[in-house]
Chains A and B, each alone.
Chain A
């Protein structure tokens, strides 16, 4: 299991320019655009300067997108090259394989998150109000996205399908879940929808850990995140042990 985990880590550290630097640069560009476009003219959100509101959202966005990218592209890549068998053959139980993959993906998400946070230190003031909330949401969000990536990777038959999941589901949800604005700016209907959106709880709870203010109920967010993680892990387990699209 350790070997599989280390392989997953090696896989992304080998191309660290693409997997770590690029997300950091992209996130900083977003920070620059929004701060320049909106920043100075914009009144504070809930008493917080806009840039401090934005920074945690962007960090969480980087975590979400990268955890997903790691597992999905790893499984997809192995399937395309036909070497997934080398991962399926060794004496690992489904639980162990899933655990290693997901922890691998989560590690990438968290590594990028940390890098982004460091980079932002240079541009804005970041303080931590509640470290437990930050840790909880970092772990739960990265694990959630890694398992979605796992499922996506198993389901997809071509790289294109993976790109479709990223482009049509992951990116829209990360963009529209309160990263860039407080959800009370949305129309009523969409606000209601946000309360069923796990991405929203991740971003909101994570941000609350930094600025101490949240849009939605924090305890509800924790429960939703725990449930969705359990659900996704069960799905992964079920898919993997059934051999769906993995074994001939």
Chain B
């Protein structure tokens, strides 16, 4: 016998955080990508290792960039690239496919506040970015010795980047009306930026104009900051990087919150 319905009482005021709901949303987001682990985890790891091989073979092992060997330079860049791409992919595809399948209502209906929704989605995306990056780092460490210079910089930039891209993916997913829109943003904005922000070569190689623009590119600071965390060498200002990552995260979270709250393209 189940207890009569009158025994169910609301023990907490409705305004407090719905931890269980938040946890459920988060774990659904995580399970979504774990289920297709071949595509979401193994494929990016293979791709990254391929990039490493191709660049190291094409470049020659003994080239130096600053005081770093080329592999020391490249590995943090590749890890950051995976974080950026995968955190973005998770939230954007999750939201757009729920919109297309018309089951987004099942996520909007439960008693979750806009902020809780944003936290659940963004953290799910960030988790994917970080899990893939750890996988990549682990895979690469079998081939190349990886040392850590400043663990707090590594964590700060990895988490900062993952959260930023999760939020950006969420905004894209909300804005997009078709899968095409999401892949357009991925292919024309995310990929070029993550490729051309000092992942594979120092930005000093750029022509003057692009070089100067790069100092406004948040991707550059995140890649550079992560590289500093591993190798102790940076090519831009670390302080600017930290401020930049914090303020962009803040701005994107506010936009996410505002979009979810207003129901823009989510509610009829």
Contact = CB atoms under 8 A, between A and B. Distances in A.
Nearest to B183: A18
B27 to A, nearest CB: 21
Given A26-B187, A29-B195, A172 B46 contact: yes
B142 interface: no
A227 interface: no
B250 interface: no
Nearest to A158: B36
Interface stretch (A30-38, A136-144, A240-248): A30-38
B96 to A, nearest CB: 15
B200 A33 contact: yes
B43 A168 contact: yes
A180 B54 CA distance: 7
A188 interface: no
Contacts of B54: 175-176, 179-181
Nearest to B65: A37
Nearest to A34: B58
A197 interface: no
Contacts of B53: 175-176
A160 B55 CA distance: 28
Interface in A147-176: 160, 163-164, 167-168, 171-172, 175-176
A208 B191 CA distance: 31
B39 interface: yes
Contacts of A41: 63
B39 A186 contact: no
A26 B186 CA distance: 11
B180 interface: yes
Contacts of A231: none
Interface string A22-58: 1001100100111011100100000000000000000
A233 B121 CA distance: 46
B196 A32 contact: yes
A167 B46 CA distance: 8
A124 to B, nearest CB: 15
Given A22-B183, A164-B39, A176-B50, A33 B57 contact: no
- What size tier do the contact residues of chain B reach? 20 to 34
A126 B93 CA distance: 39
B201 interface: yes
Contacts of A18: 180, 183-184, 187
Given A25-B192, A186-B57, A17 B184 contact: yes
B50 A181 contact: no
Contact of B38 (A15, A26, A38, A160): A160
B58 A163 contact: no
Given A25-B192, A29-B195, A15 B43 contact: no
B169 to A, nearest CB: 18
Contact of A22 (B59, B187, B206): B187
A176 B43 CA distance: 16
A172 B48 CA distance: 11
B267 interface: no
B47 A181 contact: no
B188 interface: yes
Contacts of A171: 46-47, 50
B12 interface: no
A37 B184 contact: no
Contacts of B43: 163-164, 167-168
Contacts of B38: 160, 163-164
Interface string B58-95: 11000100000000000000000000000000000000
Given A33-B201, A38-B59, A41-B63, 20 more contacts: A18-B184, A25-B192, A26-B187, A29-B191, A29-B195, A29-B196, A36-B206, A38-B58, A160-B39, A163-B38, A164-B38, A167-B43, A167-B46, A171-B50, A172-B46, A176-B50, A176-B54, A179-B54, A181-B58, A185-B58
Interface of A: 15, 17-18, 22, 25-26, 29, 32-34, 36-38, 41, 160, 163-164, 167-168, 171-172, 175-176, 179-181, 185-186
Closest 5 CB pairs of A and B: A37-B201, A167-B43, A181-B58, A22-B187, A180-B58
Interface of B: 36, 38-39, 42-43, 46-47, 50, 53-55, 57-59, 63, 180, 183-184, 187-188, 191-192, 195-196, 200-201, 205-206
